[in-house]
Structure 1
Amino acid sequence: MNSNTFLEKLDKTLSPIGAKIGEQRHLKSISTGMMMTLPLIVIGSLFLIVANPPVNPELVDPVTSNIFIKLLLAWKNFAVENYAALTTPYDMTMGMAGLMSAFTIAYCLAGEYKMNSAMSGLISTSVFLMICAPSVEGSIPLSFLGADGLFVAIIIGLLSVEITRFVENKGWQVKFPDSVPPAVTSFVNSMLPLLINIIILYGINIIVIATMGVNIPQAVMNILSPALSVVDNIWGFLAIITFGNILWILGVNGTSIIFPIVFTLGITNTGLNANLMAAGQDPNVYMNLQMFRVAILGGAGNTLGLCLLMARSKSAHLKSLGRLATVPGICGINEPIIFGTPIVFNPILAIPFIITPIVNVSLMYFAQVMGIITPGYMIDPSFTPFFVQAYLSSMDFKNVIFVFALVAISMLIYYPFFKVYEKNMLKQETGSDNQSAA
């Protein structure tokens, strides 16, 4: 009864906000546009797992290992030697999420305005490439074509359409007789909006380069990074993790912003624990790499619990997405959930997305302090199933049991917010079905 009352109150509070935001054409275009890139993100994440097999050659002896470990070692050797080839599908799918989003977001917003969607998408993509991937000696950098450039893609996708709409509303178009083919009319009337978009948006980029020495996406990174302080304590660590997750909600790859500091800290402190173990002492440095692994358990926002809830959802969209994203989520890759649900600009799911890592990281910290689990003293391989990382970091099965408990806690935290969001999704799906039937 109390649970139902809580869900009703949560629904009454959050649903109107979610509905209002969901109907706002710009935010709706962001959501729909990113959802269009979902197949690229899901398939790309699978190839990233293939290129990073779950084994650390430094921790096993190939001579005494069983056949399964030997197969993993052979896979690892092959992956290391052919890493570029194996990750090419990732680079050209998930690694292009920003570029694709620049097109799809503009495409969707133009559709909301009943404009030429395809041409609007092409204009946005062209300007995005000028700003985020300028050619250098015949090559274009890929750094900001993926999730790191998503924030800029959102801004360009929206602004380029608004600039084109302004041109059309002003009537700055050539009027042709009906005998002229529509393709010719579209071609001629697309040149002026493209030119004005380049002058305004790329012009701003030139000004940023002239004043700051870097382009717009790098300037965004440079502005955000100094905001990060020393994190070698639980309070600073929680602050930086929360900061990264807030950025994700705004469409910025928060993990890439905080990664250099948190990962370097984790490796350094894990090394200190390794030295203690070598000296015959117990590891006692708590802000180790294992803490960072828990902070991104199932990906930023600890979304593995949400993924498991979605896999059994009554909503067809959430159910299919949850099942598709489970394997990547186990390996800490959750872009399918972040962009496909989506969590970006989602006021309902943003709350547990921020709260869950705070709870889990805090529990991890106190579990280490109280001696319930062993602090990490080994560098475990990235993109490995979370329970494998938990064991390899400490060689302690208690740590494995503990991270499974954290996943269960994640499910509990996400559950009420998930039910509210699921209810809204079911209303949308029912409405779509009724329109199709009509």
Structure 2
Amino acid sequence: MISGLERLLAPFANKLGNQRHLQAISNGMMMSLALIVVGSIFLIVANPPINLDLVDLNTGNIFLKALIGWKQWAVANYNTITIPYTMTMGLIGLVTSFGVSYCLAESYKMKAAINGIISMCVFLMIAAPVNDGQLSMAFLGADGLFVALIIGLLSVEICRVVGNKVVFTFPESVPTAVTNFVNSLLPLAANIIIIYGLNLIVIAFSHQALPELIMSILTPAISGVDNVWAFMGIFAFSNILWLFGINGSSIIFPIVFTLGLTNSGLNADLVNSGNAAEHVMNLQMYRYAVLGGGGNTLGLVLLMCFSHVKHLRSIGRLSVIPGICGINEPVIFGGPIVLNPILAIPFVLMPCISIGLGALVQNSGLVSMGYIIDPSFTPFFAQGFLSALDFRNVIFMCVLVAISVAVYYPFFKVYEKSIDEKEDQE
């Protein structure tokens, strides 16, 4: 099976992997990996795995008292705790625009740092407009990632065209910094006129800036998702967006999370009145679909932890704790899964399997239907128990992790071998 997949996928993957612009995207995203990992840790610290509405605040249980104290401290100091997250993960779009343009310019033997700075400045003009002296951060993070990729590539191409047409030369006595400064003026001006000008045209016609327009187009106007097939479809759509560096989770989140909250609340009313819960598409189903993060990547992370490829092994071990808490940006951008035709298949397929099996075990009574709103960024095994106070759900989620390992395994081995061959060639 692995040999067949290798014959089918490896040539296509190698061709894509050697494409200059895709390499720049992959390498540029890798530059932001440390920000993603560190930001994830602070997000976990700010969201302790306990819901104060569901526990006795005067309990004598030492473990619960510690969690209650942690939660109360986190709520009181939430803004302070999450500043490192805001200034790392919250700036992932900005950093990516620099990283992608830097790597692409480097491949062209251009001044990489200057091109990175130009790209970053143009991205700020478009994604972070100033209102009343304040900078908007709405699209500096993952929501602005797609625009960051476009600007990172386009700005370098503009600089390359302008730089080839107009180059100022000076005597050797003139410092290099002065030469670089003069030769960067026209490329910067061209970038502002073309890219920022395009943004102004978009605003004039749509009354939305470029990042807002793209997100509004991508946000699916889907109603009637209260069934397993629509739920599968919407998560498949989300994960396909992730493959292009677009935060698909943020786009579908208002739809699927609201549905989960509503149905969990309806189930809670039924249970409170002495009846059995009957709404399958509850918050518990949402947790199945994002077990380990988008794409159910916890199984992939476990495989990466034992890879003989040092790069994959390091990413895997860094991603274990965030993955257990449902945060998987380190593996999405560090693996990477973005623009990876081999890992794309299980990344889209596995959540659909989890949703289908989740509906099956809930409808058959093997697992209680979710009726409790559990805290976000809680370790998956704690969420599994808290959603219905049913330990069988924890066992089922562990089974889903094992299935994730099996589904990802053949594709991971093909990808691992392709990296080996690439390293041998280099």
2:296 counterpart SS class: coil
The one-letter amino acid paired with 1:242 is: A
Q: Does residue 47 of the first structure (1) align with residue 32 of the second (2)?
A: no
Spell out the pairing of 1:373-392 with structure 2 (5 A cutoff): 373-392=367-386
> What does residue 296 of structure 1 align with?
290
Shift of 1:416: 0.2
Q: Does residue 256 of the first structure (1) align with residue 254 of the second (2)?
A: no
Shift of 1:142: 1.1
Q: Does residue 86 of the first structure (1) align with residue 75 of the second (2)?
A: no
Cα gap change, 1:199/1:257 in structure 2, threshold over 3 Å: closer, same or farther?
same
CA distance in 1, matches of 2:217, 2:411: 32
CA-to-aligned-CA distance 1:205-233 (integer Å, 9 cap, x gap): 11111111111111111111244343111
CA contact (8 A) 2:59 2:65 kept: no
Q: 1:104 aligns with which of 78, 95, 99?
A: 99
1:394 counterpart SS class: coil
CA distance in 1, matches of 2:90, 2:125: 17
Q: TM-score with structure 1 length normalisation?
A: 0.96
Q: TM-score with structure 2 length normalisation?
A: 0.99
Q: Does residue 234 of the first structure (1) align with residue 238 of the second (2)?
A: no
The one-letter amino acid paired with 1:428 is: K
> What does residue 243 of structure 1 align with?
237
Q: 1:417 aligns with which of 405, 411, 420?
A: 411
**Which sections of structure 1, spanning at least 5 residues, go unmatched?**
1-5, 433-438
Q: Does residue 160 of the first structure (1) align with residue 155 of the second (2)?
A: yes
Q: 1:175 aligns with which of 148, 169, 172?
A: 169
**How many residues are treated as equivalent by the alignment?**
426
Shift of 1:431: 4.4
> What does residue 3 of structure 1 align with?
none
> What does residue 266 of structure 2 align with?
272
1:143 counterpart SS class: coil
1:174 counterpart SS class: coil
> What does residue 435 of structure 1 align with?
none
Q: 1:346 aligns with which of 340, 350, 357?
A: 340
Shift of 1:94: 1.2
> What does residue 358 of structure 2 align with?
364
CA distance in 2, matches of 1:229, 1:295: 19
Q: 1:15 aligns with which of 10, 13, 17?
A: 10
Spell out the pairing of 1:129-144 with structure 2 (5 A cutoff): 129-144=124-139
2:219 counterpart SS class: helix
1:176 counterpart SS class: coil
Q: Does residue 75 of the first structure (1) align with residue 45 of the second (2)?
A: no
CA-to-aligned-CA distance 1:131-181 (integer Å, 9 cap, x gap): 0001111111111111111100000000000000011222x1222122211
CA contact (8 A) 1:52 1:76 kept: yes
CA distance in 2, matches of 1:73, 1:427: 51
Shift of 1:58: 1.2
Q: Does residue 62 of the first structure (1) align with residue 57 of the second (2)?
A: yes
CA contact (8 A) 2:220 2:252 kept: no
CA contact (8 A) 1:314 1:426 kept: no
> What does residue 322 of structure 2 align with?
328
CA contact (8 A) 2:372 2:387 kept: yes
CA distance in 2, matches of 1:38, 1:188: 33
CA distance in 2, matches of 1:186, 1:86: 41
> What does residue 28 of structure 2 align with?
33
CA distance in 1, matches of 2:119, 2:257: 34
CA distance in 2, matches of 1:319, 1:428: 17
Moved more, 83-92 or 176-185: 176-185
Shift of 1:95: 1.2
CA distance in 2, matches of 1:413, 1:329: 17
CA distance in 2, matches of 1:312, 1:30: 26
> What does residue 193 of structure 2 align with?
199
CA-to-aligned-CA distance 1:351-371 (integer Å, 9 cap, x gap): 000000011110001111111
CA distance in 1, matches of 2:187, 2:45: 43
Q: 1:355 aligns with which of 345, 349, 369?
A: 349
CA distance in 1, matches of 2:409, 2:34: 26
**Which sections of structure 2, spanning at least 5 residues, go unmatched?**
none
CA contact (8 A) 1:229 1:236 kept: no
CA distance in 2, matches of 1:51, 1:226: 30
Shift of 1:65: 4.2
Shift of 1:81: 0.5
